[in-house]
């Protein structure tokens, strides 16, 4: 069951965004009046459309390819292509600066927005995220003016502190958006370790531990996966995704602790109806998310009840949960196929057996691409012979 479980590991979508205050581009690169760089800045600032800015950047690049100002040119390319939603181009130019070991906060924010928008992740993205706390500190911590009063200084410190917090929040958002797009578990673990070191006071402790859980599951380290799954739940007992995946792993993944799995799944069933719809999510999307979480929880509960029915041959509770799961999981063929298989098994396990209902459920399971497809076909043949 390990590989099927790994394929079911959910992509973590936090569902929130952060409006960020504008940052100063190229703070370490100065511009001398009446130089080509000055003319470029005048052209960019005076342009009415992003396309005009691109044209000005192209003209400068062709005329001055060896300019020391090229890191700033690449940064402007990144931000301008981002305005045009041309994420690939934004990434192309932003990564040139990262490869040259140049970075500032404005570049980091815009490049990470491009990565998130494109659905792509690379080493450069995680390098920037790990560097971000230093960049944020360098560009948001103020120095007190000799003329500033105590009240003015206090206000400036508060504002800079809020700005720093805002940018750190975005960096964490970007990290948790991009990490699930990394399929190599060794790389995932490396990115997680770097993040934990760079953000030791992260408020997203549960999500961090949850992602460690997923990475160790992908790496096949069951002991570490258990450790971090429990840490994720301990940090946030209402983390629905963690509760559901740990429950699935304990019951249908490695089948090590179905009793505890049932406890977690029951909690999911009670939590999901009380979750508020996030901003920017349609009613249909939110309903689909709720159905997916509820369906997975009922699948775990149905399987746990089916194990109990092995001794009593009273599979009624298992049938109830597995029917609910099979209906709720219509958007997830892998899980729905499992739900129908165990539902068919439950009908056969119950006394008296309901061969007709079992055959119907197994026929549905056999038609779905799930880990139980072959077993569903095999059991269906036996059920048909028993009718």
CATH number, position 147: 1.25.40.10
Average pLDDT estimate for 262-283: 94
Average pLDDT estimate for 11-18: 38
Place of tokens 């992602």: 211
On whether residue 292 sits in a domain, the answer given is yes
Q: Residue ranges of the alpha helices (H) in the chain?
A: 2-7, 36-46, 50-63, 70-83, 87-99, 105-118, 123-140, 150-178, 185-198, 205-219, 222-235, 240-248, 258-271, 283-312, 316-328, 333-349, 355-366, 373-386
Q: Are residues 290 and 275 in contact, defined by beta-carbon separation less than 8 angstroms?
A: yes
Average pLDDT estimate for 106-126: 93
pLDDT in tens, 174-190: 999 999 999 999 999 99
Please check whether residues 54 and 174 belong to one and the same domain. Answer: yes
On whether residue 250 sits in a domain, the answer given is no
Range of the domain at 380: 272-386
Average pLDDT estimate for 275-294: 93
On whether residue 191 sits in a domain, the answer given is no
Q: What is the DSSP letter of 249?
A: I
End-of-domain residue from the set 126, 159, 181 = 181
Q: 18: which 2 tokens?
A: 């952060």
The predicted pLDDT at position 22 comes to: 54
- What's the CATH number where 291 sits? 1.25.40
Average pLDDT, the chain: 90
Contacts of 110 (CB under 8 A, 6+ apart): 75, 78, 79, 82, 90, 94
Who wins on pLDDT, 36 or 1?
36
Q: 255: which 2 tokens?
A: 């089948």
End-of-domain residue from the set 161, 181, 201 = 181
The predicted pLDDT at position 152 comes to: 81
Q: 211: which 2 tokens?
A: 């992602």
The answer on pLDDT for 287 being more than 60 is yes
End-of-domain residue from the set 166, 181, 196 = 181
Q: Rounded to 5 degrees, what angle do the CA atoms 196, 202, 207 make?
A: 80
Q: H or E stretch including 315?
A: none
Please check whether residues 6 and 115 belong to one and the same domain. Answer: yes
The answer on pLDDT for 1 being more than 50 is no
The predicted pLDDT at position 18 comes to: 44
Average pLDDT estimate for 110-120: 94
The answer on pLDDT for 358 being more than 80 is yes
Please check whether residues 119 and 13 belong to one and the same domain. Answer: yes
Average pLDDT estimate for 238-257: 91
Q: 139: which 2 tokens?
A: 């560009």
Average pLDDT estimate for 122-144: 90
Place of tokens 């995704």: 241
Query: Any idea how long the chain is?
Result: 387
Instruction: Average the pLDDT over each of 23-27, 300-304, 351-355 and give the range with the smallest value.
Output: 23-27
The answer on pLDDT for 21 being more than 70 is no
Place of tokens 């130089």: 35
pLDDT in tens, 63-107: 999 999 999 999 999 999 999 999 999 999 999 999 999 999 999
Average pLDDT estimate for 169-176: 95
The predicted pLDDT at position 342 comes to: 97
HSE-CB of 157 using CA atoms within 13 angstroms: 10
Contacts of 144 (CB under 8 A, 6+ apart): 153, 156
Please check whether residues 20 and 153 belong to one and the same domain. Answer: yes
Please check whether residues 139 and 276 belong to one and the same domain. Answer: no
On whether residue 362 sits in a domain, the answer given is yes
Q: Give the percent of the chain with pLDDT over 70.
A: 94
Q: How many domains does the chain divide into? A: 2
Whole-model pTM: value is 0.82
On whether residue 67 sits in a domain, the answer given is yes
């Amino acid at each position: 069951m390990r590989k099927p479980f790994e394929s079911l590991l959910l992509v973590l979508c936090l569902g929130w965004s952060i409006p960020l205050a504008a940052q100063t581009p190229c703070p370490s690169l100065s511009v001398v009046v009446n130089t080509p760089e000055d003319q470029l800045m005048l052209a960019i600032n005076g342009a009415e459309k992003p396309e005009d800015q691109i044209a000005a950047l192209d003209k400068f690049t062709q005329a001055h390819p060896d300019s020391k100002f090229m890191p700033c040119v690449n940064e402007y390319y990144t931000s301008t292509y981002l305005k045009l939603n041309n994420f690939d181009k934004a990434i192309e130019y932003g990564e040139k600066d990262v490869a040259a070991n140049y970075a500032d906060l404005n570049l980091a924010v815009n490049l990470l927005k491009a990565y998130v928008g494109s659905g792509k992740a690379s080493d450069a993205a995680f390098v920037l995220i790990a560097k971000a706390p230093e960049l944020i500190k360098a560009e948001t911590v103020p120095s007190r003016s000799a003329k500033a009063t105590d009240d003015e200084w206090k206000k400036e410190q508060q504002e800079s502190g809020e700005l720093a917090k805002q940018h750190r929040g975005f960096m964490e958002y970007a990290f948790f958006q991009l990490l699930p797009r990394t399929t190599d578990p060794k790389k995932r673990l490396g990115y997680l370790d770097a993040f934990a070191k760079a953000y030791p006071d992260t408020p997203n402790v549960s999500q961090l531990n949850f992602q460690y859980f997923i990475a160790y599951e992908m790496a096949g380290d069951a002991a570490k996966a258990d450790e971090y799954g429990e840490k994720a739940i301990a940090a946030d007992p209402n983390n629905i995704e963690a509760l559901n995946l740990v429950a699935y792993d304990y019951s249908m993944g490695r089948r090590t602790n179905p009793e505890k799995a049932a406890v977690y799944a029951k909690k999911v069933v009670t939590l999901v109806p009380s979750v508020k719809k996030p901003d920017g999510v349609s009613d249909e999307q939110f309903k689909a998310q709720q159905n997916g979480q509820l369906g997975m929880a009922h699948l775990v509960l149905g399987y746990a009840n089916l194990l109990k029915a092995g001794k009593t041959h009273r599979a009624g509770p298992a049938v109830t949960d597995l029917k609910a799961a099979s209906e709720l999981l219509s958007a997830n063929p892998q899980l729905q196929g499992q739900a129908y298989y165990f539902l068919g098994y439950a009908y056969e396990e119950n006394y008296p057996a309901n061969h007709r209902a079992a055959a119907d459920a197994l026929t549905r399971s056999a038609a779905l691409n799930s880990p139980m497809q072959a077993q569903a076909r095999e059991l269906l043949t036996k059920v048909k012979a028993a009718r």
